[in-house]
Amino acid sequence: MSIVRMNVADFAAVQAPSVEAARPLYDRYVVPSYARSLSVTRGSGSWLWAEDGRRYLDLGGGVAVNCLGHAHPRIGQALQQQAALLVHASNLYHHAPQGELARKIVNLTGPGKVFFCNSGAEANETLIKLARRAGHDRGRFEVITALNSFHGRTFAGISATGQQKVKDSFEPLLPGFVHVPYNDLAAVEAAITPRTAAVLIEGIQGEGGIHPATPDYLLGLRALADKHRILLLWDGVQCGCFRTGRFHSYQTLLADVPGAAAFLPDGIAMAKSLGGGFPIGAAWIAEPYQDVFQPGTHGSTFGGTPLACAVALAVLDEIESKGLDRNVVAMGGRLADGLRALMPEKPLITGVRGMAGMVGLIVREDAPGACVRLREAGLLTVPAGGNALRFLLPYTVTADEIDEALRLVRGAL
C-alpha cells in the first residue's frame, strides 16, 4: 500500500466514496444513547451534506460548537501546523499554546487563571470541585443550581442539572445539590444555608429552551455571594465564546446596566465553541481562588494539549480579527426579527427568545416534531425544552443564508 500525502485542500476536495452506509453500522455497533437522524458526509460553511447527496442549511451549528461553520480553513491550518510540531506532551510540561490560550482567556475575562479540560461537563466538574475545596474548611459543600438547567452528563453534571429526566435511573446521585427556580433571586436567598458553597447558573439556559438571566438576577446573585462568602459559578458552555457577541454572555446581558461594569463570576465553565469543533474545555477561576488547586488536587490527561490550544487560539483570533462577533449579533437579530415577523401568519409560532447566535423559536406543537419538519425542508435546528427550536448560528453565517432559513421556516411550519 502506498502512502499518499495530501494537503488540507486536497482532503476537502475528495468525496470519500461511501463504502458502506453509516446507518446500519450504528444500528449494529454503536450504543444507542442518541436519537440520530441524517447520515452526513461533509460540510462547508453553514452547509452540511448527507449521504444521499442532499444539502442542508445547518443552523444548529453542531449544538453550539461550529462557530466558524464547517471545514473552516483556519481550523484546518492550525491543526496541520501544530500537528507537525507537537500534538500531545502531557501536563508534566509547559508549552506555549496552553500558556498563550490561558492568557487570552484571562484578558477576555478578568484577573484569574485557567484550568484546561476536554468538555463542558468536565469544566463544570472543575468548578464544583473548586467550590467544594474552597468551602471545605468552613463545612460548606452544597451547590445551588437552577431548575430547568443543564450542566452535563457526568455524575456531578447530572446531579447539578435541574431536570429530572437526566437523573432518572442513575440514583443515588452525588449529594449536595439544591435546585431553585431560575431568575428568582429570593429563591436563591432562601436556599442559602451554612452548608452552601456556591451558586451555579447558565447565563442563558440552552437545553432548557433559551431563557436569558435578567440583569437584576445577576447583580443580586453577585451581592448574595459576596454577603455569604460563597462562589458565584457561571456555566458559559453554550452561551459563551462570543455566541452573544461578547466573549461571555454576562458581558452582553449586563452591557449598559448601571453599576454592572465590574461584575465577574468566581468561576466560568467554557467548552463547545471554544475549539470550533475540536474538543476543548476550560474553567476560568477568579483571582481569589486561582491557586486553590495545587499539584495533585485536580487534573486531566488530555486537558489543554498543544493541538487543542492552538486550534482554540486560531478560532478566537479568527472571530476577533474578522469581526465575526459583530456578524453573529447582526445575523441573529435578522433571524429573530424575521421569525417574529412570521408570527401573525403562523399561529404555530408562539414566541421568539434569545439573542445573537442563540435564538429560540417557540412552537405550539412538540419541538422534535417541528424540528423534523424543518429538516425535511432542508433546515437543521436543535430541539430544546419548553417547545423551543434552537438556532445556534455559526458566527460566519450570511444574510442570504438567514433569509433562506426564514423562507424554509415559512414553508415548513
Ligand X SMILES: *Cc1c(COP(=O)(O)O)cnc(C)c1O
List contacts with ligand X (CB under 6 A). 119-121, 124, 150-152, 202, 206-207, 235, 237-238, 271-272
Nearer to ligand X, 120 or 332 (CB): 120
Q: Known catalytic residues?
A: 150, 235, 272
Cβ proximity to ligand X, 379 vs 382, nearer residue: 382
Q: By C-beta, is 119 or 251 nearer to ligand X?
A: 119
**Rounded CA gap, 336 and 338, in Å?**
5
Instruction: With beta carbons less than 8 A apart as the criterion, state whether 198 and 144 touch.
Output: yes
* Three-state secondary structure of 191-237: HCCCCEEEEEEECEECCCCCEECCHHHHHHHHHHHHHHCCEEEEECC
Closest residue to ligand X in the complex (CB): 120
We find the least distance from the C-beta atom of residue 119 to ligand X, in angstroms, to be 3
CB of 235 to ligand X, least distance (A): 5
CB of 82 to ligand X, least distance (A): 21
Q: Which is nearer to ligand X, 61 or 120 (CB)?
A: 120
Round to whole Å and give the CA distance between 333 and 64: 17
We find the least distance from the C-beta atom of residue 47 to ligand X, in angstroms, to be 23
Q: Shortest approach of ligand X to residue 2 CB, angstroms?
A: 39
Instruction: State which residue, 151 or 211, has the beta carbon closest to ligand X.
Output: 151
